[in-house]
Amino acid sequence: MNEYLPGLEGVPATQSNISAIDGEKGILAYRGYPIEQLAAHSTFEETSLLLLDGQLPTAEGLADFNSNLRRNSRVKYHIRDLMKTFPSSGHPMEMLQTSVASLGMFYLGNECLTGGDSCKDLDYIHNMTVKIIARMSSLVAMWQHIRSGYDPIEPRNDLGYAENFLYMLTGKEPDPLLARIMDVCLILHAEHTINASTFAVLVNASTLASPNSVIAAAIGALSGPLHGGANQKVLEMLAEIGSADKVEAYVDTKLKNKEVIWGMGHREYKTKDPRAVILQGLMNQLIEKRGGNVNPMFEVAKEVERVCEERLGQKGVYANVDFYSGILYSEMGIPADQFTAIFAIARSAGWLAHWREQLKDNRIFRPTQVYSGEPPRDYIDMDNR
């Protein structure tokens, strides 16, 4: 195949059985299970095991996984001291990429990835998977305190993953509804086929790079505003609009100038992102819990979605997962620059599932190109240029 397709759109990069999307019908499934069912009945820990192992765990298997996550959630003081040297203005995603990449220097055990057969060490692969997922939330929560000049809050062994993250982030045991909302958000963001950051996982994994390096590369890809950074951009956009009565003029101006309307449209979906539907429902639950108090930004968001659906629905452009996640996190008191880092916490499960899948039948990525440069020519001496 010599045809160049920008962004490799529609070009299969791998064969996978981890997740599937039907963009026409708005369906997302992990290992065959609809995302709506997992969001309603599962937990992030159980969903992570489903993604990693291919099946829902037994009660004993889930309890063991939970125990391992809690046992590995603390990080060495060397990492904390390293983070203290970062500028307090540093973005959480840059902190996370740097910290995850550095984990391999303080936690040995990458030496088995040295050749074709070495990647079949299942104990190593499982242990590294647990350690990375466990430490992702700790690093993000630690940075919230360190950048403000305080020591981080230690994780607790009696809390679930989402609940523990909120506890480490705020220093307070979270309201059960907020903990459940965070749990669902992590499930929704855990996996989404071969997107940009997951493709970065595949490429790096194919070289037998260490798993910390693989995940650091994925974090870098996720940080861009065209990928995971869009949820923060949505909130900035809503603040810029200010009120619902200004939405139509704003949207029309953006469309006229062919500018991005953040949180609208998705490469895969031609209808509303099923994750956005669930997130909007969670926002409604939170509003009901708070006696009907509505963040003005939520009203602006609903109006943006209405106007965009009216203007762009016939083109298959609808709200995506980023559109409501930022508003929801904001209502939970989470700083806007942490939104994408939370996305990374969740997506670590999917990334590591793809890392494991790549290692099972590994071949280093080496795509070709369509050359569009100069034809062969002779070197010209400096005096004759």
Q: Which of 189, 147, 190, 153 is nearest to 173 (CA)?
A: 153
The yes-or-no answer on residue 78 being catalytic is no
CA–CA gap between residue 217 and residue 197 (Å, rounded): 8
Residues 266, 273, 337, 381: which is the catalytic one? Answer: 266
Q: Which of 145, 189, 273, 322 is catalytic?
A: 322
Catalytic residue check, 322: yes
Q: What residues are labeled active site?
A: 266, 322
